[in-house]
Structure 1
Amino acid sequence: METFNAIFARRSIRKYQNKALEAEKLTKILEAAMAAPTARNKQPWRFITVQSEEGKNRIMAAHPYSLMLKTAPCAVIVCADKTEATDFFQQDCAAAIQNMLLSATDLGLGSVWLGVYPNEERTNGVCKAFNLPENIIPVGIVVLGYADETKGRENRFDAAKIHKENW
């Protein structure tokens, strides 16, 4: 798939088929995540893959908008290691998450990004549910699987939001 096709085909999917995600596809998605740019090339990201029912239930207890995990086969908690991060860890992890979403689309999968940080309740809930050490901050969760819904392309381009040279 060409880059523009993946960008415009990517949509937030919240309904999934009860079908396993192949390990090879998950590995490719994580490789794409780690190919993202980072401030000072610190690569502060860390990933927790969650495929067990017990693990998915812990996410659902910690995050109010994660109920699609009842059928989705996989979630990846994207974290930042504060000992290796710069002040730009949120952007670093966001770039990794965007790469994950686009690569999932390219592989024929559905995905959705669930925000965690800086929401204190969600951050603390995920930290507690997954016994994260103090230096690890959960930034977001990417849910992955085979879509059980179809969404068409949305045109979000708005020329009124573009300023030239000055505001």
Structure 2
Amino acid sequence: MNSIFTRRSIRKYTNEAVPSSLIKNLLKAAMSAPSACNQQPWHFLVIDDRSTLDKLSTHNSGYSMLKEASLAILICGEIETAILKHFWAEDCAAATQNLLLAAHASGLGGVWLGVYPEENKGVFLKEVLNIPNHITPFSLISLGYPAETKEPEDRYNEDKIHYGKW
């Protein structure tokens, strides 16, 4: 539970490289997420090439932290092969959250950069990263060893909870 309560979005990173064994563990954690009918409609693109990260960082101000990131992982969905096509985004969101929690528990910092459903972001990523047409980019996770610390926030709010009926 500690990883859930203390995880924060980290946008500043050191230049320390993330070992491939740790990247593999993050991907294992992401792939351990639940998915509708266990369809696992996801694909993961690991981006660790400095020039590619720099290019991605220029797309919009929300991606600027990629300039400092050691790597990024793009979570994509393969909608046409999914059993329940309308649940692919929920499945990819669960994988994204698992990846972020695993990164935090492993001493990395990361931030979820929105992609889907903003079509222009998906088109840009497909073009730069040579993603096939039948694959849909969902979320881009900027990762690295943190060069900033953020205190945990208690976000529990009783006003958002309803029991039995609204």
Name the TM-score, length of structure 1 as normaliser.
0.94
Do the aligned partners of 1:62 and 1:129 also contact (CA within 8 Å) in 2? no
Q: Which has the higher helix share?
A: 2
- The ranges of structure 1 where at least 4 consecutive aligned residues each deviate by more than 4 angstroms after the TM superposition are none
Q: What is the aligned partner in structure 1 of residue 44 from structure 2?
A: 47
SS, match of residue 141 in structure 1: strand
Alignment correspondent of 1:20 = 17
The answer for the alignment partner of 2:98 in structure 1 is: 99
Q: Does the CA-based 8 Å contact 2:63-2:113 persist in structure 1?
A: yes
Name the CA distance, whole Å, in 2 between partners of 1:81 and 1:62.
Answer: 24
Deviates more, 1:138-147 or 1:119-128: 119-128
**Cα 1:64/1:122, change in 2 over 3 Å:** farther
Does the CA-based 8 Å contact 2:58-2:64 persist in structure 1?
no
Q: Match of 2:132, as an amino acid?
A: P
Equivalence for 1:108: 107
How far apart are residue 58 of structure 1 and its match? 3.1
Residue pair 1:117, 1:140 contacting (<8 A) in 2 also: yes
Structure 1 residues without counterparts, runs of 5 or longer:
none
In structure 2, distance between residues paired with 1:73 and 1:15: 10
Aligned residue runs from structure 1 range 67-106, under 5 A: 67-85=64-82, 86-106=85-105
Name the counterpart of 1:133. Answer: 132
Which residues of 2 match residues 51-70 of structure 1 at below 5 A? Answer: 51-70=48-67
CA distance in 2, matches of 1:84, 1:64: 33
Q: Tell me if structure 2 keeps the 8 A contact 1:43–1:84.
A: no
Aligned equivalents of 1:65, 1:30: Cα separation in 2 = 24
Counterpart Cα distance in 1 of 2:73 and 2:56:
10
Q: Distance in 1 between matches of 2:149 and 2:77?
A: 32
- What's the offset of the Cα at 1:57? 2.3
Alignment length (residue pairs): 164
Residues 78-97 of structure 1, C-alpha deviations (whole Å, 9 max, x = no match)? 00012222211110000000
| Aligned match of 1:11 | 8
Q: 2:81 aligns to what SS in structure 1?
A: coil
